[in-house]
Amino acid sequence: MRLPRLVVPVLFALLASGLLAACQRAGDADIARTDDGEMRLGSVEVVDTVARTVAPNDRPLVLKGMRGTVHLRGADQSTAELSFVRRGRGEGRDDGQEVLEGISITESGTESEYTYTLEAGQEDYAAVDVRGQVPRQTALRIDRLSGSVHIEGVEGALTIEHDHGDVEVQGAAASVETILKNGDVQVGFRTLPVEGPLQLETSNGTIDLRLPAGASAQIDAQTNVGTIRTQGLSFATEQFAPADAGARYNAEFGENGPTIEVQTQNGSILVQSADTTTTEMERKEPSTVPLDTGTVDDASPPEDTMPDPDTATGPPTPDTLQAPPDTSG
């Protein structure tokens, strides 16, 4: 069946206009740069903060979906108090607001775990940073696309899996499992658990393992490209085998300790004695959605962030960013 002559040009015109709109969406006018020159889509960022409180009751807390940083501290309390900093970017405030309103925070609880699922209609322009305190013995599972993760003083089991971003843990006292594609890993134990899993893995990045004095453990470390070093530890047995541009290292100190697997494809490994007198971590700027020279606006959370019925909701916390006047026109 042949289309009328006038229909074909109209179809091509509609297709061309759609492609042009898509190009303009990510074009020169929609690019912003951070202070260090990193490029981001959207010159205006709209931000709000949504507060959530839940009593885990010995259930693991799960954070999954999207990109954004995570910074959680363990505390002597029975509830987890979390702030979700939602960020929407666009060429103007209306665009950023539209992105932000498309970010949803869904809660679901079972007898075995409590989950926060983060989603967005326009993920390239959206991010959610998570901040807060959790009961010290809480187990955490973090499964996100990208963003740095900082965990301090949480003594429950930790599982962290994402594609991009550094991971830093201090004061661990239970099993720790990290699986990254790109990012450095630093894990410091306050005390070693009797059993695992104890696995630190990144495809591209360095690994820094810090162990308490007097602990017992077996180390199984391997890098395809990089060096392996130890500092401040005395081992009963050691085996070291260089291999191409990397090395394999097995060692044991103490007796009957758990096995810690440390593996990176591209990066160096350091196994050292930990300073257990402090659990204070260095402050770092968020790695996924840093502040830039674009305009930042506040916004109120939409109705789609209502919590699950079995949680308590605190009032919205003050925004973490001060919004300058909108100059985008």
Question: Whose CA is closest to 75, among 279, 274, 313, 282?
Answer: 279
User: How far is the C-alpha of 61 from the C-alpha of 105, rounded, in Å?
Assistant: 14
Give the mean model confidence (pLDDT) for residues 244-263: 94
DSSP state of 251: E
Distance CA 255, CA 146 (A): 38
Average pLDDT over residues 50-66: 96
pLDDT the model gives residue 255: 87
Q: Is residue 258 within 8 Å of residue 226, measured between CB atoms?
A: no
CA-to-CA distance for 108 and 62, rounded, in angstroms? 10
Q: Cα separation of 323 and 320, whole Å?
A: 10
Residue 225 has pLDDT above 70, yes or no: yes
Confidence of residue 240 (pLDDT cuts 50, 70, 90): very high
Residue 156's pLDDT is 97
14, burial (CB in 10 Å: exposed 0-12, middle 13-18, buried 19+): exposed
Mean pLDDT over 236-263 rounds to 94
